[in-house]
Structure 1
């Protein structure tokens, strides 16, 4: 029973231990632009990455995987087929599925791919920026209108702030409930909801969106963390680990007068160095 934020913080140590003991085999069908960073992020948080896409082997791969992560960042007909084969197998084997709906709302192909996956399979968790989540809300009939993203980036009018936090939290909670899933909407303030419990996470650094793949890496480690625990607790540890690693990486970059290339390296370093004491101490979370 979660009564307040302290109850959530108390669970972090056990959840992180479970994640690292499980060493979840994390099967990622992901963006080819960021695949190397995603694999390294999974390794750093304590998972084991498997980046298979060929349709001929996917049923075998998913059967042994602990979790499936689907990222629609760079779509092709072959990749879409692979997503469906993997998702169908994952539902048969009760393997959690994490969906990163990159750029949904921008093109009809991305809209159709996203909603086909959501409607045809049991999706355990969805991780996207707030514009992507609102696009899904519109497609699912929860929201009347939504803004179009700037490519794969969040629309400036959708950025989560203290002023709109309550409204966005209610929307994400309603969508999570309707889709029977856990949703993590990331941005300057992140919102996590399973349709019952909704939490805001105010950690991270403004350098994180300046490197390619920070969102893809987050979705991959959400997968590893869920594969080693459960959808809500795993997602919470994943977002805290990523955001606090970003804060520590920025401090290191500033100390050494370096830039985004070094930031990427330090981000992976601090994901690897994640410990429950640091997460608990630095976490800035609020139940909505």
Structure 2
């Protein structure tokens, strides 16, 4: 039986209930984070919590908790080890359905865990490259806020699955933004390129770590506009997320990326990731 956290209590998941008038349920008026824990320790935990605070400020939800203590205890109660923690905070129970909300409402705080694979220990040979399609970015204009309003992401992922591939890369006004649940990077002549940080993309914690590791190890990077032709002519294409780390894209719209194999710079970045994660967990 799994344990979840709900509004100050650690309880069995079967006992967790939320009002039908909760604004997260009615309007998606809520934000979330997904945080990997390896060997019971949060990976880039502070960076995730900084992004959470950014999202909360952006939609004007005021809530203060000892997040580290809550999430660490939740992981312990679920057996520790390698778990992904989902944390969601909604504006709370409005008591009715109205677009107008009371600034004094009490937020609803929920967290749960799911098992994840320790990709860093498994080795690069265990990482399976993905195939992707490019499709229209249908999301709202504030993708920098990690909101639970994910219907456009769900629709494009379903489109990808119906096309027989694993990921959807989104394009808006002729420029690539990100994937359905990941950031996007490409490699051209030894340089890592990624779309510019702005309201059109989520500031991924793994994306930030890739750029940090690249800078520390002399790998050039640039944040630039990326159009479809540039994507399709890249030497390597990667996606990144908190629970998948950095994954090579081997095929886009039915066409192989370069020779269709995992690229050498991806292998180098995976090595840097592995070293960073092991040092962090064993430090």
- TM tier, smaller: under 0.3
Of Structure 1 and Structure 2, the greater helix share is in 1
Q: TM-score, normalised by structure 2?
A: 0.28
Q: For the pair shown, which has the larger CA radius of gyration, 1 or 2? A: 2
- Structure showing the higher strand proportion among its residues: 2
Q: Whose RCO is larger (CA < 8 A, sep 6+)? A: 1
